[in-house]
Structure 1
Amino acid sequence: MTQDVTQLSISTDAGLFDAVAAGPPEGRPVLLLHGFPQTGLVWRRQIAAVAAHGYRVVAPDQRGYSPGVRPQRAADYRISLLVDDVVAISEELGWPTFDLVGHDWGGAVAWWTAHAHPGRVRTLTVVSTPHPGALATALRTDEDQRQRSRYMIDWRDTPATEERMLADDAQEIRGFFAGKVPQDSAEAYVRHLSQPGALTAALNWYRAGRPDGTIGPIDVPTLYVWSTGDTAFGPAAAQETRRWVDGPYRFETLQGVSHWVPEEAPELLSHLLLDHLRAHGAY
């Protein structure tokens, strides 16, 4: 079974989200959340693989990445608002429940959404990003993770960060991918973030301040995929994550794979995701 990928515009009270979608409209719904500095394009291989099995798959460009939802204030990128966006998108799509997948910042939003709205999230899959509570523990107790996370503090400087990242034809952004992301995708991300205000909006996720709430253990069936070559998240936070999931939990470690799992190991990730979807939440 093959499915054509289509472009969507999803209207919410916050604004208009751009998205890509595939799979039969009546299929079991799966929502994919990207991270920094990417877009819904990051999931193109997973979209094709999952839609081919009859699921309805939608990958939006999140707040700040969609031009129609690009507020200027850093405070407008608080985690509670990002979670509200997920709920609003799902409601506009007519999905009372859905399977939720996230990578990088999208993974953080996915953890928070599953905690705040467990009745909506059928299953959770998070790639790279540990549970926020596990990350907080590692930042308190593990010097390696503190060093890995220093960039989050450095990127709060503005406008110096934007100027540096976009200098020399966005050499710094291109360098993030270190040959692990397909060249056409890397070029698309650079073009996207070179739009006026786009990079500032993306960096506002880091500048929004501490979460306006607390997060506890996750009750929904959860797959967490971490890779040993991830420079942002180390083993301490990854291993601590199992302490923050009370529901069925599967932890998969990908040896020698970088942070950019969806594009560096697309077939393996698609296999793990499909296996998780089949194992939980009969539809």
Structure 2
Amino acid sequence: MKITARDLTFDVVAGGPDGGAPVLLLHGFPQHSGEWAAVTPALHAAGLRTYALDQRGTSPGARPQGAEAYRIAECALDAVAVLDALDLASVHLVGHDWGAICAWHVALRHPARVRTLTAVSVPHPHASAYAYANDPDQRARSAYIKLFRQPGKAEEVLLEGDARRLRAIFDGAGLDAAGVDAYVRPLLEPGALTAALNWYRAMSSLDLVGLGQATVPTTYVWSDGDLAIGATAARACAEYVSADYRFVPLAGVSHWIPDQAPSEVAAAVVARCLA
């Protein structure tokens, strides 16, 4: 379906039983709502109704110009506006990678709209900031962000040679060439990669202002094979959740948890939603 909200048009993939408890799924970079395709069947079998949103920059009808338009607070407001358009007062919220960051901001800034939160890969923003400030290993893991924030340069590096480096991002995800191409091909459309990278270019320390502890029941799923998020950030997450909290560590799994371990993600989401 297509949802018009905030003068933008978002693509949303809906599924599951009508009347089921609603679940909003937010994808990360460099992916789209298709990253939830292997997760949702188990959610539907559990009686949950899912809405997988192609977020700002990914939906072709939601690509405003300029990096400032991609501040995380704006992306969180998109999610809330989509809920309004769907006439959903509150949902179970699930996000991976940038989708997890967006989900944290929705849960922290608009807690009345969130029944539960399941964050995959990326912890509470203050846990990430703590690890970056105190752990050299985390700073090394985050070094790629410097390139992604360089307009033009990042696009050149990622797209050269039939997007060889963009495709290589998915090493370890357990995807075949067709699976990788399903994520990369939409980013080859004019302006698509720039819009996706603008999430990184809009990052600011001001994004943390006003963020407190999460007050909704929260599950955090992390994998020890994640090249982007280390153990310091993962372990710190619990300090920033004041509600019921579950930490689900996965051994031998890469950053691409929904693709590589969809059953484990689905089990964590179902357990949280039906608790």
TM tier relative to shorter chain: over 0.9
The code of the aligned residue for 2:194 comes to T
Tell me the residue number matched to 1:153.
Answer: 146
Match of 1:252 in 2: 248
Q: C-alpha offsets along residues 45-77 of structure 1, whole Å, 9 cap, x if unaligned?
A: 111210122211010110000010001200000
Q: Partner amino acid for 2:183?
A: Y
Instruction: Give yes or no for the alignment of 1:194 onto 2:188.
Output: yes
Q: CA deviation at 1:109?
A: 0.4
Query: 1:169-203: CA deviations, max 9, x gaps?
Result: 11111101114142333111111100100000000
Note if contact 1:41-1:185 (Cα within 8 Å) is conserved in structure 2.
Answer: no
Equivalences for residues 24-63 of structure 1 within 5 A: 24-63=17-56
Give the TM-score of the pair, scaled to structure 1. 0.94
Structure 2, unmatched stretches of 5+, are none
Is 1:237 the equivalent of 2:230?
A: no
Partner of 2:77: 84
1:214 deviates by 2.9
Q: Which moved more, 1:20-29 or 1:244-253?
A: 20-29
What amino acid does structure 2 have at the position aligned with 1:153? K
Q: What residue identity is the alignment partner of 2:192? A: A
Shift of 1:24: 2.1
Within 1, Cα distance between the matches of 2:174 and 2:32? 13
Rounded Cα–Cα distance in structure 2 between residues aligned with 1:77 and 1:92: 21
Residue 122 of structure 2 corresponds to residue 129 of structure 1 = yes
* Unmatched 5+ stretches in structure 1: 1-7
Query: For the Cα contact (< 8 Å) 2:72–2:203, is it kept in 1?
Result: no
Q: SS where residue 198 of structure 2 aligns?
A: helix
Measured at CA, do residues 198 and 181 of structure 1 come closer, stay the same or move farther in structure 2, by a change above 3 Å?
farther
Q: TM-score if structure 2 supplies the norm length?
A: 0.96
Deviations 1:18-66 (A, max 9, x none): 1211012311100000000000000001112101222110101100000
Question: Number of residues paired by the alignment?
Answer: 272
For the residues of structure 2 that align with 1:32 and 1:209, how far apart are their CA atoms? 22
> 1:64 pairs with 57, 64, 71, which one?
57
2:267 aligned with 1:267, yes or no? no
Which one of 44, 64, 68 corresponds to residue 75 of structure 1? Answer: 68
Contact (CA 8 Å) 1:14, 1:85: kept in 2 or not? no
Moved >2 Å (runs of 4+): 181-185, 211-214
Letter in 1 for 2:4: S
Aligned AA (1:44)? A
Deviations 1:78-103 (A, max 9, x none): 01100100100111111001000000
User: CA separation in 1, counterparts of 2:174 and 2:27?
Assistant: 14
Q: Is residue 2:79 matched to residue 1:106?
A: no
The 10-residue stretch of structure 1 (255-264 or 202-211) with the greater mean CA deviation from structure 2: 202-211
Q: Tell me how far apart the structure 2 counterparts of residues 109 and 272 of structure 1 sit (CA, whole Å).
A: 19
Letter in 1 for 2:120: V
Q: Over the residues paired in the alignment, what is the CA RMSD in angstroms?
A: 1.0
1: distance between equivalents of 2:82 and 2:142? Answer: 30
CA distance in 1, matches of 2:189, 2:137: 35
Question: 2:273 aligned with 1:277, yes or no?
Answer: yes
How many percent of aligned residue pairs carry the same amino acid? 48
2:133 matched to which residue of 1?
A: 140
Q: From 223, 227, 238, give the equivalent of 2:223.
A: 227
- Please say if residues 172 and 254 of structure 2, whose CA atoms lie closer than 8 Å, have aligned partners that are also in contact: no
Map Cα deviations across residues 241-281 of structure 1 (whole Å, 9 max, x no partner). Answer: 000000000001100100000010111111121111111xx
Alignment partners' CA distance in 2, 1:175 and 1:140: 28
